[in-house]
């Protein structure tokens, strides 16, 4: 079984974006992990964190559940295909590394920016290397 992690920070991601990631691996048994990452930009006080988590969780469900339904519908012909949804409130790097450990991820699919500067901004080249070093046997970070 191949485990694919798709971190989502942009609410505008579409099923087409996800299919570009999943299609190359559809001949294998697949477990797709949709990870919604939301980090509060304004450091809230401890009293506000609980309320913010509820709001972020609602946002995560609103983004993840339609994508999960569409993926399951699109790939219903695959006998061994599953989708897991998860949300995280940490930094993008920490969230991805934690998901890699939790789900034994083989492939991390990152949203492709139009320029290398975009990738540097997205994760930083050092973080991309650190993420690749956390992956199992064949480390693979793909841009979609």
Per-residue model confidence as pLDDT tens for the chain (144 residues): 889 999 888 677 888 888 888 998 989 999 999 998 876 555 555 545 555 666 667 778 888 899 999 999 999 999 899 999 998 878 787 888 888 889 988 888 876 544 444 444 444 445 556 666 665 555 466 655
Sequence-separated (6 or more) residues with CB below 8 Å from residue 62: none
pTM of the predicted structure, to 2 decimals: 0.73
Give the CATH number, domain containing residue 45.
3.40.50.620
DSSP three-state, residue 124: coil
Rounded CA-CA distance 29/78 in Å is: 8
Rounded CA-CA distance 98/103 in Å is: 9
- Total number of domains constituting the chain: 1
- Residue 2's DSSP bridge partners are 30
Chain position carrying tokens 């087409």: 16
Query: Domain of 94?
Result: 2-143
Sequence-separated (6 or more) residues with CB below 8 Å from residue 12: none
């Amino acid at each position: 079984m191949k485990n694919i992690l798709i971190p989502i920070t942009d609410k505008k991601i579409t099923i087409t974006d996800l299919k570009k990631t999943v299609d190359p691996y559809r001949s294998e048994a697949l477990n797709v992990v949709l990870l919604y990452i939301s980090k509060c930009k304004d450091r809230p006080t401890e009293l506000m964190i609980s309320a913010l988590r509820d709001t972020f969780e609602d946002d995560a469900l609103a983004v993840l559940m339609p994508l999960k339904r569409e993926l399951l519908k699109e790939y219903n012909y695959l006998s061994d295909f599953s989708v897991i949804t998860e949300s995280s409130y940490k930094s993008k790097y920490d969230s991805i590394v934690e998901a890699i450990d939790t789900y034994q991820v083989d492939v991390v699919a990152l949203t492709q920016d139009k320029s290398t500067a975009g990738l540097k901004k997205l994760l930083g080249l050092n973080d991309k290397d650190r993420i690749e070093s956390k992956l199992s046997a064949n480390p693979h970070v793909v841009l979609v």
